[in-house]
Amino acid sequence: MPIYNQFNDSFNDFYHFIKTYLKDDIQLIILGHYQLLNELLEEKYRTLVIKNMIEERNLSGLKHQLSHNHPILKLLSESTRHQLSKLSQYLDQSSQTLLTLKSWEEQLIKQGLTNIHLDISAQPSRSYYKGVFIRCYLNKHDTSILTGGFYSGDLQGYGMALTL
């Protein structure tokens, strides 16, 4: 089973490369988890129509599909930068998904990276990654994106890549 430290080491290597060789820095980080939607959305609501609306952040459409106080609506109405701090209001404190996201956030903040956004629209069946994922945009290199996450299948582990 891959452990977080392995991913953290890889992230540090890439971050060092970005700062030292690209002379750049990370502008914005998007964190997400492919199990998050299942934890926030009851099974009866996991229809194709609702999943598509969540993927498109279609708030006026979701308003007609979900209850007015539904966590998905509440979270999507918040700025993406504040969504991670609000997430604990809607999940069990022992949720592995919540704990994973919080520990990644904590590690990133320790490195001085504070512009962290949550993406709750990610859907498990539509990605190579199956668990937590990260996407980082740089200040100066518009087309260079650092992406990574947890994948599982015949092989499992953390993958990370930087497009140059």
Partner 1 sequence: MIRVALAKGRLLESFINYLEAEQLFLLSNGLKHRQRQLLVTIDGIDFIIVKGSDVPIYVEQGIADIGIVGSDILNENKYNINNLCDLPFGHCHFSLAAKPVTNDYKKIATSYVQTTSRYFKNKGIDIEIVKLSGSIELACIVGMVDGIIDIVQTGTTLKANGLVEKEKITDISARLITNRTQYFKKGEEIESFINMLGVQMINA
Give residues in contact with partner 1 (CB under 8 A).
27-28, 30, 56-61, 63, 73, 77, 79-81, 117, 119, 137
SS3 category, 142: coil
Type of residue at 47: T
Q: Could you tell me the smallest distance in angstroms from the CB atom of residue 67 to partner 1? A: 12
Cα–Cα distance between 4 and 100 in angstroms, integer? 9
| Cβ at position 80, least distance to partner 1 in Å | 6
Q: Which is nearer to partner 1, 25 or 96 (CB)?
A: 25
Judged by beta carbon, residue 60 or residue 163, the one nearer partner 1 is 60
For residue 121, the surrounding DSSP H or E stretch is: none
Nearer to partner 1, 60 or 94 (CB): 60
Q: Dihedral of the CA atoms 47, 48, 50, 54 (nearest 10)?
A: 130
- Rounded CA gap, 81 and 30, in Å? 9
Q: Give me the least distance between CB of 89 and partner 1, in Å please.
A: 17
